[in-house]
Structure 1
């Protein structure tokens, strides 16, 4: 079925036109109300001060102090206080001072805006899967009909994605704790949405903002060219705003060299606390290569036919291996999982991963309190929890990728997993 006809077919389906709009609006209203109540409650300061939510990179307290120093004509990048790019500081100043929006309401608006974008991201992705399925039916095995996506899958997935974001405790805490990851997630969602809808300019601009903050060949070259142009422009604007390039060391140098070893849910802090200083440069390079380019090329080659799945996998790996991760990074990627509802039947680690997430999420604050306040534990206890949390994320992303390969194999070869008459063993390489 041609893409134009299939799109018209999807849009004209009765259940697509009248799908419980009131229920969706109620879901967004409840999600916003929970955030609003917690932000203006006595729990806000408790949540905002937790290291799982607030890091040196996304702390709103640091941003507030930086804005105050700028208002007094003091360069906030001269010390070790601020690690936000000048362009994003301009955004924060515009929102809070020029537009005079209350800080709490600003965070709430951007967080709900992200949830809205995720709904359309999932809807567009499911539409693309429908088009791909219709165009490839002739290549599928005759007994693979049960593996095909059905109507409820296309309709429910966007709602599940929005719900997974709105009612995900990680995302609720991220918003209530006034973590600037809220803004990063908004531009990241804007990038994913514009990417799926084929907007080169909007996708590259939003990706450039994400980078500043923490498909033909011609089209690919144009995309890369526009991205480089936008990045150079933002770099120039940042240099003008900060009256120099001192911000580079405080923003990007801070991320790459990891000088602040304050505990967080990542893997860097404990390792570099225990390491001898003369090995630091070697392992900094090793860790950062592992966090950025090590998996990018092989995954891009293997999953080039599904760019959205590839992007999700890369985001998962970034949330595991970045220098200063927080719950907002993990929660955002977890919210995208309902987009792959068609892969759940092929996954094997779902129960194990879910249990580890629950246990580590509960134990993290407990062991932190025992270590810091009660003096009845030590750093090994807390790092053990963060290590298990990272392992759960790795199990999850590998399980999803393997499930994708198994489903593709079943669609083309049917239920009978045999090659040349012999039983086949599917291996992820």
Structure 2
């Protein structure tokens, strides 16, 4: 097993380094599917350059990282040469895969414990915790979306590391590190605040009585609020003003930059009349940030990890400025629910959708921007199909979870003539 781990990490790191030192690196880094206004390394470089010359990088519409990120990236660019910068991105990506492996192992142990206690399917599973961890880490290391995201030098690499720390902290029931990582993510991207719900549920589930349960919930809220407030104060001290709010959280909420990406916002807000803009902004933001939190939390309260996966998927689909790095992160978690695959019905459709959209997106972009034989409708059609494929994937996983619970509760035999059968609820 250790040989497989080492070979996977060595091969994944080699692939990334070779692509970074090839002629394709700049092409990948300039792709609209990879780099957005929020994660472009080119924008980071220009923002740091302005800051070093005493110009507020938040004055214009160029830089959208947090002041803490600005300070860290300034140190990175000041002290790291080009080869060390590439190595930093690769090591960060490999560390993320390692954190996800620890998360998968803890989750597999919890599932095995539930089986022994009779709360889950009590059949013997062929997957051990180590196998589950290997699948998840390999799913991240060799995910094409993640590889392109790393090679393109996007700051989503560091965001994914924070996501993985948040997940492993949640599974280990670490209150401080869960709050710290989610607070950093919230400061940067706003939408990850929803991860406080599954983290609080999972940590509070360890309580032996209701009073202790309430204690954990209140403690989580207080620590998260305190850490987030401290991060805002640190950001203010770095910049000396609150100007960064308009170009970070305000930029995400108001969507002023309408350059094409794999999301849905840019086309709608380009085509609509200006007096309808705030109505649609409110509708879109409520959809991604508030609409699904309570219903999903009530339904998936017994499986906080699946709840966190759902929130990550919803944010990646409906957020203001998504990129393929966001999509690749939550897709890498799919091996965690290998026991649900037998209940899924749309795997082939979703796989074909994702494959075709991944190929067609750069093709249609070239026809639109360079050949001028297409228009924005063509590219938006591809991004819309890509979003639909992700919605199908998420709903299929959630319905598979419901079918699995039904089968476990009613003791349904899932074998017909000695072969595994699919359960259909009509």
Matched residue, 2:327? 330
Matched residue, 2:214? 217
Does residue 386 (structure 1) correspond to residue 383 (structure 2)? The answer is yes
Residue pair 2:258, 2:266 contacting (<8 A) in 1 also: yes
**What's the CA shift string for 1:257-296, capped at 9, x where partnerless?**
0001000000000011110000000010000000111011
Following TM superposition, by how much is the alpha carbon of 1:217 offset from its aligned partner in structure 2, in angstroms?
1.9
Following TM superposition, by how much is the alpha carbon of 1:109 offset from its aligned partner in structure 2, in angstroms?
1.4
| Equivalence map 1:165-180=2 (5 Å) | 165-180=140-155
Structure 1 counterpart SS, 2:317: helix
- For 1:194 and 1:246, how far apart are their aligned partners in 2? 32
Residue pair 1:66, 1:76 contacting (<8 A) in 2 also: yes
Residue pair 1:370, 1:376 contacting (<8 A) in 2 also: yes
- For 2:244 and 2:130, how far apart are their aligned partners in 1? 46
Matched residue, 1:131? 113
Following TM superposition, by how much is the alpha carbon of 1:51 offset from its aligned partner in structure 2, in angstroms?
0.1
Matched residue, 1:89? 70
Does residue 183 (structure 1) correspond to residue 183 (structure 2)? The answer is no
Deviates more, 1:300-309 or 1:151-160: 151-160
Does residue 268 (structure 1) correspond to residue 250 (structure 2)? The answer is no
Matched residue, 2:60? 79
Residue pair 2:188, 2:249 contacting (<8 A) in 1 also: no
| Equivalence map 1:88-167=2 (5 Å) | 88-98=69-79, 102-136=84-118, 145=122, 148=123, 150-167=125-142
- For 1:99 and 1:211, how far apart are their aligned partners in 2? 27
Following TM superposition, by how much is the alpha carbon of 1:152 offset from its aligned partner in structure 2, in angstroms?
2.3
- For 1:235 and 1:320, how far apart are their aligned partners in 2? 27
Matched residue, 1:307? 304
Residue pair 2:312, 2:330 contacting (<8 A) in 1 also: yes
Task: Say which of 24, 27, 31 aligns to 2:12.
Answer: 31
Does residue 46 (structure 1) correspond to residue 19 (structure 2)? The answer is no
Following TM superposition, by how much is the alpha carbon of 1:153 offset from its aligned partner in structure 2, in angstroms?
4.8
Does residue 257 (structure 1) correspond to residue 254 (structure 2)? The answer is yes
| Equivalence map 1:272-283=2 (5 Å) | 272-283=269-280
- Which structure has more RCO (C-alpha within 8 Å, separation ≥ 6)? 1
Matched residue, 1:245? 242
Structure 2 counterpart SS, 1:152: coil
Following TM superposition, by how much is the alpha carbon of 1:411 offset from its aligned partner in structure 2, in angstroms?
0.7
- Once superposed, what is the RMSD of the aligned Cα atoms? 1.6
Residue pair 1:346, 1:403 contacting (<8 A) in 2 also: yes
Residue pair 1:95, 1:106 contacting (<8 A) in 2 also: no
Judging changes above 3 Å, is the alpha-carbon distance between structure 1 residues 153 and 395 closer, same or farther for their aligned structure 2 residues? farther
- Structure 2, unaligned runs of 5 or more: 190-203, 205-212, 415-422
Matched residue, 1:421? none
**What's the CA shift string for 1:384-414, capped at 9, x where partnerless?**
0000000000000111011111111111102
Residue pair 2:16, 2:150 contacting (<8 A) in 1 also: yes
Matched residue, 2:200? none
Following TM superposition, by how much is the alpha carbon of 1:96 offset from its aligned partner in structure 2, in angstroms?
3.5
- For 2:285 and 2:409, how far apart are their aligned partners in 1? 38
- Structure 1, unaligned runs of 5 or more: 1-19, 418-423
Deviates more, 1:216-225 or 1:238-247: 216-225
Deviates more, 1:95-104 or 1:67-76: 95-104
- For 1:337 and 1:22, how far apart are their aligned partners in 2? 23
Following TM superposition, by how much is the alpha carbon of 1:154 offset from its aligned partner in structure 2, in angstroms?
3.3
Following TM superposition, by how much is the alpha carbon of 1:93 offset from its aligned partner in structure 2, in angstroms?
2.3
- For 1:92 and 1:309, how far apart are their aligned partners in 2? 33
| Equivalence map 1:397-416=2 (5 Å) | 397-415=394-412
Residue pair 2:40, 2:155 contacting (<8 A) in 1 also: yes
- For 2:370 and 2:54, how far apart are their aligned partners in 1? 39
Following TM superposition, by how much is the alpha carbon of 1:99 offset from its aligned partner in structure 2, in angstroms?
6.4
Residue pair 1:291, 1:321 contacting (<8 A) in 2 also: yes
Structure 1 counterpart SS, 2:63: coil
- For 1:183 and 1:209, how far apart are their aligned partners in 2? 11
Structure 2 counterpart SS, 1:331: helix
